[in-house]
Amino acid sequence: MKKNKKSILVFGGSNFQLSLIKECLNKNLYTVVIDPNPKAIARLYADAFEVVDGQDFEGTCKVVEKHKTDAIVTAATDKPLVMMAQVAKKYKFNFFSEETAKLCTDKFLMKKKFAELGFPFAKGNVIKTANDEINFPIVIKPTDNSGSRGVVLCKNKNDLENIFKESIQYTQKPYLLAEEFIDGKEYSVESLHFNGKSKIVQITEKIVTPLPYFVELGHIQPALLEKDVHKKLETLIEDVSKAFGFENCGAHNEVKIKDGKITLIEISPRLGGDFISSTLVKASTGINMEKALLQIALDEEPNFSNKKLSVAGIFFFCFEPGIISKINDVKQILNIPEVIDYSFDLKVGDKIPKIVSSIDRYGYFVLKTDNRENLLNLKENIFNQIKINIDKI
């Protein structure tokens, strides 16, 4: 029963939205969750759970009216953003425009907008077949997916056919994006946007798999950047956010930096996944981005007064592919005081997959320390503590 509570509708009920859902409950909101998966984990937590397809506008509107919804939110997913913008327009919820949503969920449209506005970005064009004329090396990726799904570096024409077949599986479109390969280190900028203002909350430094894939295997906050580069990055993100119409939202914006040169890769008006916004930002700054997002959605002023600076990192397990024949108790790492979160999904007899997208990952741990050197030393010590025997397939 809703009673006198405000009602909020959360789009998505997976593990990546679970922290946001719990924050809604902590805020004493009547929490409704929609997800196309009838077994989504959120069904165990939400006040109300409805199975609704991600593109079902009418079905979503029925849920909004049934539960007398006051606001809508999501995190760590791009898929519902266009429909959320349409729903927000119909019911006058705090959200960004449908145009903003469309620009940020189609990587080719995003690049056209970057070019129009004169921002530095990784250039690219759509290709419909492996026979299209392109220059190498090139990054092949879907225009409409996330989580590094189908993102592969192609170095020559001979490899393009197989890479095209691999990548096309991850898109609903009849084409792919061929994107200029930008050398450099990867970073993301976590921000909030409300009342015409932008708040840069944290900058994240990324660890990724070896090429040809780009799967994120770790995130460290705060990123280690020169002061002038840090300032240039903040200014660029504020300008891009304004130009793309980021308003009433969190944002996760990805760039590459080399020798002080910043290149935009992708931007998105939603909180970052991989526990970046939900866990890392809170650990490294004391700022609860999910709580702030709820305040923005409910037309309240977000509170940033709990700022406490630390160093935090999330690190994903990455073992050689094969079958696990022996492994020690990974859970023992919880005895380390600096470990604030942990998950490991495999056991003896399980197959370790090759990690080619984020959905292939099978565990992680989160560290919070007082300095970067301690963080990196602890990370190495933990990986060294894990003893695993793998039978190759």
The sign of the torsion formed by the CA atoms of 231, 77, 263, 224 equals positive
Task: Say whether both 130 and 81 belong to one domain.
Answer: no
Task: Say whether both 305 and 385 belong to one domain.
Answer: no
CA end-to-end span of the chain: 53
Task: Say whether both 229 and 106 belong to one domain.
Answer: yes
Residue 299 lies in a domain: yes
The position carrying tokens 């809703």 is: 2
Q: What is the CATH number of the domain that holds 374?
A: 3.30.470.20
For Cα atoms 59, 64, 70, give the angle at the middle one, nearest 5 degrees.
160
Looking at residue 54, what is its pLDDT? Answer: 86
Element (H, E) at 327: strand 322-327
Of 272, 287, 309, the last residue of a domain is 309
Residue 273 lies in a domain: yes
Residue 2 lies in a domain: no
Cα–Cα distance for residue pair 314/366, rounded to 1 Å:
4
Task: Say whether both 152 and 34 belong to one domain.
Answer: no
Task: Tell me how crowded residue 94 is: count the other CB atoms within 10 A of its CB.
Answer: 18
Task: Say whether both 235 and 106 belong to one domain.
Answer: yes
Task: Say whether both 212 and 301 belong to one domain.
Answer: yes
Task: Say whether both 351 and 208 belong to one domain.
Answer: no
Residue 89 lies in a domain: yes
* Tally of structural domains, the chain: 4
Task: Say whether both 261 and 205 belong to one domain.
Answer: yes
Task: Say whether both 67 and 44 belong to one domain.
Answer: yes
Looking at residue 68, what is its pLDDT? Answer: 97
Of 309, 338, 362, the last residue of a domain is 309
**Are 148 and 166 in contact, with CB atoms under 8 Å apart?**
no
Backbone angles phi, psi at 8, to 5 degrees: -125, 140
Which residue range(s) make up the domain with 66? 7-93
Looking at residue 308, what is its pLDDT? Answer: 85
Q: What is the CATH number of the domain that holds 146?
A: 3.30.1490.20
Residue 231 lies in a domain: yes
Looking at residue 3, what is its pLDDT? Answer: 67
Task: Say whether both 344 and 387 belong to one domain.
Answer: yes
Residue 1 lies in a domain: no
DSSP bridge partners of 7: 30
| Tokens describing residue 31 | 């929490």
Looking at residue 1, what is its pLDDT? Answer: 56
Residue 116 lies in a domain: no
| 3-class DSSP state of 45 | coil
Cα–Cα distance for residue pair 94/168, rounded to 1 Å:
35
Task: Say whether both 268 and 141 belong to one domain.
Answer: no
Distance of alpha carbon 377 from its chain centroid, rounded?
26
Backbone angles phi, psi at 187, to 5 degrees: -140, 160
pTM attached to this predicted model? 0.96
Residue 128 lies in a domain: yes
Task: Say whether both 210 and 335 belong to one domain.
Answer: no
Of 309, 334, 363, the last residue of a domain is 309
Looking at residue 331, what is its pLDDT? Answer: 93
Looking at residue 304, what is its pLDDT? Answer: 83
Regions of the chain where pLDDT drops below 70: 1-3, 306
